Amino acid sequence: MIQVENLQHTFLIGKKGKEKHVPVLKGVNFEVKKGEIVAIVGKSGSGKSTLLQILAGFMKSEQGSIKVNGMETAHLTEAESAAFRLQQFGFIFQNFQLMPGLTAFENIELPLKLQGIRKAMRTEKVKKLMDKVGLTDVADHYPNELSGGQQQRVSIARALITNPPILLADEPTGSLDSETEQDILLLIQSLNRELGLTFVIITHDEEVATIAHRRFRMYDGELVKEEA
Amino acid sequence: MLFKDQLDFVTQHIKKNKLRVFMTVLAATMGCAFLIVLASVGFGLQDSIRNEILSDEKVTKIQVHGNDQFTEEQINEIKNIEHVETILETITVNASAHSFFEDRDTDSELYVANMHNFEQVNGKLEKGKYPTKPNEIIVGYHFAQSLVNDAERKIIEEKNKKAEAEGTFYNGSEEGYKDSLIGKEIELALMPRIDGAKETKKTKYTIVGVMKKPSYDWMINNSIYMDTEQKPMLATTLAATDVKEDDMFYSEFNIFADSMENVKPILDKLKDKGYSVFSVTEQLDQMNVFFLVLKIGLIFVGTIAVLIASIGIFNTMTMAVTERTREIGVLKAIGASPKLIQRLFLMESTFIGIIGTLIAVAISYVISFVANATLPLILEAATGEDAFSKNDIIFSLIPWQLVLIASAISIGVAMISGYRPARKATKIDVIQALRQEL
């Protein structure tokens, strides 16, 4: 499903004229198979977030190749990359990244709007999914009226609404207490089992990594496979 | 994204920042209204002057320069040009006509013309009919007023002195013959305009018609008009004096088109044929060029106001983009194309421009209406002259073309000033945006 080969990236740090080249990714290789939960674990500054951002197309790598469903994505233009994201990826962010001016329902509906789907069809899809993730009661609530766990559920529902084959999660439980964390991890596991969705989870939390089928550890720009 | 959803998105954001958007719309409205009202003065003045010119002269008239005398052949040639209605030869008798009626008398100009053509050109009379029999004449509107006796002359002189002392003048409208002159007989003697000439013997004529009032208030017409059949008899009368035969009459030719639109082609054809002709429509053309330049100047000045308003739009949009950095980041992350994001922001600035323009157009019409209704009264009160309210001066006129130009300018400027912020929105870095705190 995802093949990453020899991915390299360097940051320029410091004042103009006195910049220092700091390598963040030093030739990363890994593969994610369909229906897998893969965790990339690492301390902050290890380069795991950079890896996710390049994977998602938010930034470009200097060298290397990324193939998603057989398609090379490393050289897509910004517009192509956006269209690709809309079809292939769903995103779950650490701090949920919900639109504060939209209700839970409208937040989940947003990707469908971007896809140009008509209102009647959107409403039906969103209602079904909200029911599934247990959000029906809070459909008309704004993000600031929801608990952290509810917000992350909305965020997951938003990621799922377009039926993407791959979900990219950046510290999905980073802002939640341990009880809610368990809820969200169970939800991810059940989605993986029932819908066969592929998850790539970036985390520093070893607990989160336990739900993964395979684990990679990021250390100083290099990725090492760990046994599950 | 469906267009309706894009609209929803934009209106949702506008609703969230009602006051800021309202103030920006207000600035756009003021700029655009200023532009329209300013330029409307140019349009209004042009219209007033155009009406003035058109009411003064018969617009279908093509005048012939100088004292060119047309031959029969030339007259036929001109008559054969398409849309030429008639050629009117007006002969001025080179003598002052001295008319006597009861104890009154007056001096006036005497014209001879083919009464059939004359009627075609001048249309209806104020009173009476055009001459059909020998010795029948028609007179100008003020002829009766100019017929005064010695007593009235003195009164007029006194009134005139009084008026002069006040810095005005008196036109004698309160004196003269008050009853209808139709059917009345007058005696007419001719006084050649040469030194030492004597008045001819008197001939009797019957007044059968009175011409319409001249289009200008200050114009006095007390002339006498008779048919060309009278020309030989006038020549005989004048021959008794020392006037040379060549100096007795001067002809002036005027060509009349059947409608105003056809004046230009006829004029062009006549000029091609070597005739020296002109018409008020040419005067209009020159005036139109002048006003075109004036209007462009006024629109230019008005556009500066619109540009100032555009700074407000630029600020509002830049603020909107900065405030929504995180939202834009999320939109981009979940797959909104840069083009869509640019379009959403451009729509917002265009919306401000359109609403501002619509309100401005409505306000401008109100201002224009109020100005036209009250300015004449104010000027009349300030200057003490009633000319402003009488002459139907249009101070402000907003034709649809002006609305179109002003709308294009202000909506265009709104879009341009929203362009940079919209571009900035597309350039927002997703990672940076997502890191922003709520």
Report the DSSP pairing between strands A214-219 and A37-42.
parallel
Distance (Å, rounded) from C-alpha B378 to C-alpha B376? 6
Half-sphere exposure of B429 (CA within 13 A, CB side): 8
Mark yes or no for CB contact B2/A78 under 8 Å: no
Tokens of B373: 């209704």
pLDDT at B177 over 80: yes
Q: Measured between CA atoms, how close is B412 to chain A, in angstroms?
A: 27
Average pLDDT over every residue of B304-328: 91
Q: Is B2 in Cβ contact with A101 (below 8 Å)?
A: no
| Domains detected in chain A | 2-226 (3.40.50.300)
Of B287, B280, B221, give the one whose Cα is nearest residue B61. B280
* pLDDT mean over B4-13: 88
pLDDT tens-digit series, residues A76-135: 888 898 888 888 899 888 888 898 889 999 999 999 999 999 999 999 999 999 998 888
Summarize pLDDT for A62-85 with one digit per residue, the tens: 888 899 988 888 888 888 988 888
Higher pLDDT, B70 or B320: B320
CB B208 within 8 A of CB B137: yes
Q: Which residue of B has its CA nearest to A113?
A: B1
Contacts of A89 in chain B (CB under 8 A): 335
User: Looking at the partner chain, which of B327, B335, B429 has a beta carbon nearest the beta carbon of A99?
Assistant: B327
For residue B171, the model assigns a pLDDT of 75
Residue A77: its pLDDT value, please?
87
Facing residue for A86 by CB, picked from B329, B335, B434: B335
Which residues of A, range 14-73, sit inside 8 Å of B by Cβ?
Answer: 53, 56, 58-59
Q: Which of B228, B215, B270, B216 is nearest to B62 (CA)?
A: B270
Q: Please name the residue of chain A whose CA is at the shortest distance from the CA of residue B8.
A: A113
The per-residue pLDDT for B391 is 62
Q: Is the pLDDT of residue B369 over 90?
A: yes
> Which tens digit of pLDDT belongs to each residue from B187-205?
988 888 877 778 888 888 9
Asked whether the predicted pLDDT for residue B419 surpasses 90, the reply is yes
Which tokens belong to B400? 């649809």
pLDDT for residue B56: 61
Residue B383: which pLDDT band, with cuts at 50, 70 and 90? confident
Average pLDDT over residues A30-47: 88
Check if A210 contacts B (Cβ < 8 Å): no
- Closest Cα of chain A to B438: distance in Å? 9
* SS (HEC) of chain B: CCHHHHHHHHHHHHHHCHHHHHHHHHHHHHHHHHHHHHHHHHHHHHHHHHHHHHHHCCCCEEEECCCCCCCHHHHHHHHCCCCEEEEEEEEEECEEEEEEECCEEEEECEEEECHHHHHHHHCCCCEECCCCCCCEEEECCCHHHHCECHHHHHHHHHHHHHHHHCCCCCCCCCCCCCCCCCCCEEEEEEEECCCCCCCCCCEEEEEEEECCCCCCCCCCCCCEEEEHHHHHHHHHHHHCCCCCHHHCEEEEEEEEECCHHHHHHHHHHHHHCCCCEECHHHHHHHHHHHHHHHHHHHHHHHHHHHHHHHHHHHHHHHHHHHHCHHHHHHHHHCCCCHHHHHHHHHHHHHHHHHHHHHHHHHHHHHHHHHHHHHHHHHHHHHHCCCHHHHCCCCCCCCCHHHHHHHHHHHHHHHHHHHHHHHHHHHHCCHHHHHHCCC
> Which of chain B's residues have a Cβ under 8 Å away from the Cβ of A85?
333-335
Rounded CA separation B380/A45 (Å): 83
C-alpha distance from B314 to closest chain A C-alpha (Å): 23
Q: How confident is the model at residue B232 (pLDDT cuts 50, 70, 90)?
A: confident
Residue B432: predicted pLDDT: 82
The residue-averaged pLDDT of B98-118 equals: 89
Asked which of A140-144, A162-166, B239-243 is least confident by mean pLDDT, the reply is: B239-243
Q: Say if A122 is an interface residue toward chain B (CB within 8 Å).
A: no
Q: How many CB pairs under 8 A join A and B?
A: 67
First-to-last alpha carbon distance for chain B, in angstroms, is 26
Average pLDDT over residues B220-224: 89
pLDDT of residue B236: 84
pLDDT average, residue stretch A18-37? 87
Q: Predicted confidence band at B68 (pLDDT cuts at 50, 70, 90)? A: low
pLDDT above 90 (res B94)? no
For B332-361, the pLDDT digits (tens) are 988 899 999 999 999 999 999 999 999 999
Q: How far is A212 from chain B (nearest CA, A)?
A: 24
d(CA B75, CA B114): 14
pLDDT at site B386: 66
Rounded distance between C-alpha atoms, residue A45 and residue A219, angstroms: 9
Helix (H) or strand (E) holding A72: strand A71-72
DSSP for residue B70: P
Comparing CB atoms, the residue among A59, A82, A91 nearest residue B338 is A82
Interface residue A76 vs chain B (CB under 8 A): no
Contact call for A97 and B2, based on CB within 8 A? no
**Local confidence band at B147 (pLDDT 50, 70, 90 cut-offs):** confident
- For residue A93, which residues of chain B lie inside 8 Å, CB to CB? 333, 434
- B-chain CB neighbours of A82 within 8 Å are 332, 335-338
SS3 B214: coil
Most confident of B179-193, B263-277, B297-311: B297-311
- Residues of chain A neighbouring B326 (CB-CB closer than 8 A): 97
**A93 at the B interface (CB within 8 A)?**
yes
**A121 CB near a chain B CB, below 8 Å?**
no
